[in-house]
Amino acid sequence: MTLALTGGTGFVGQAVLDLLEGSGERVRVLARNVPEDRRGFRWVEGSLNEPFALAHLVADAECVIHIAGLTRATNTDHFEIVNVTGTLNVVEAAVRAGAKRMVFVSSLAAREPELSAYGLSKRRAETVVAASGLDWTIVRPPGVYGPRDTDFLEMFRAATKGVLPVPAGGRGSLIHVRDLARLLLALREGGEGITHEIFEPDDGRANGWSHPDLARAIGTAVGKKVQPVPMPGFALQAAAYADEKVRGRNARLTKDRASYLAHKDWVVAPERVVPAAIWKPEILTREGLRETAQWYREAGML
C-alpha cells in the first residue's frame, strides 16, 4: 500500500511516522519544510493550498491520512481557510488521483460546532469528507497528550508550582498520541465496521476525567501535590483576552479556545467507540503523563 500523509511534521503526524519508521511501507508525506532527520520517507514540499504539491502527494496512493489542520488562531477566519478549504483541496486531489480511502483526523470539538469557530471548521471539514465519494473514516480525538505536545505543556509547568487553573465543572476524555497513531494506522485498510464511521477514541477510562482529577494526576506526574483552581467561563475568557494581548498570535489560550474549554461535557460518546477487534488503547493515562513529564524535562521544557 502507498500511504499519503498530511501533517507529518506535527504532533500527531510525527507519532504516526514513528510507528512507520523502518516498516518498509511506501509513505509520502506533505510538509512545508522537510525535516533532516526523517529521510526514510518520501517528502513532498508544499501546503494544503498548493494543488501541484497535493497532486504529487496523492499520486498512486491507496489511502490518504489527513491530519494537518489548525487548532489555534487569534483570527478565526484562518480556521475556515486551513481546516475547511484545506480539507476540500486534499479531498479533490485524492478523488482526481483515484485514491480509494481517506482517514480524516477531526476533533471532539466538531461535536459541538456552535461553541467555537474551531469546532465549526472541523464539523464543516467532516461534511466535506463525508460527501467526497471516498471510502472514509473520521476520527474525533479528545485531548491528545504525549511527547512533543505543546498544548498540555503549560499545565505541566503550572503543576510544578503546586497550583493549576482548570475549567470549572465538567469532564473530558484523553488519549495518548501513540495510541491515536496506532488507531489511524489500524484504520487505513478500511472494511466492515470501519468504513463511513465516525469514531471517538480515548484512554478507556469510563466517563473520562474531571478537571480536578486530571490536574492532580499531572501533579503526580511532575512530583508535586497540586491544588486545582476552578475557572468559570468568564474567567477563562478574561484569561484568554490577557493572553492574546500579551502574546498576540502566539497566545496559547485564545478566546475561541476558551469558549469550548468552558463546555461541561468533552467525554467521548459510547456509541462512537472503536470496536475492540480493530483497536483498543494500550497506555494508561497516569503512566502516559509520567512519560510526558519526563520527555519535557529531557527536552529542557520543564
Summarised one tens digit per residue, pLDDT across range 199-223 is 999 999 999 999 999 999 999 999 9
CA 178 to CA 147: how far, in whole Å? 9
Q: Domain 2-145+174-204+268-283, CATH 3.30.70.141 — does that match?
A: no
B/e letters for 95-117, b = 16+ CB within 10 Å, e = fewer, are eebebebbbbbbbbbbbbbebbb
Summarised one tens digit per residue, pLDDT across range 172-199 is 999 999 999 999 999 999 998 999 999 9
Summarised one tens digit per residue, pLDDT across range 70-84 is 998 889 999 999 999
- What pLDDT does 233 receive? 87
Q: Is 36 exposed, middle or buried (0-12, 13-18, 19+ CB in 10 A)?
A: exposed
- What pLDDT does 245 receive? 83
Q: How far is Cα of residue 267 from the mean position of the Cα atoms in its chain?
A: 15
| Conformation bin of residue 217: beta by default, left when phi > 0, alpha when psi is -120 to 50 | alpha
More confident residue, 47 or 37: 47
CA 184 to CA 160: how far, in whole Å? 33
- What pLDDT does 178 receive? 99
Strand pairing class (163-167; 174-176)? unpaired
Is it the case that residue 252 has pLDDT exceeding 90? no
Query: pLDDT band at residue 35, thresholds of 50, 70 and 90?
Result: confident
Stretch 3-13: mean pLDDT: 97
- What pLDDT does 195 receive? 95
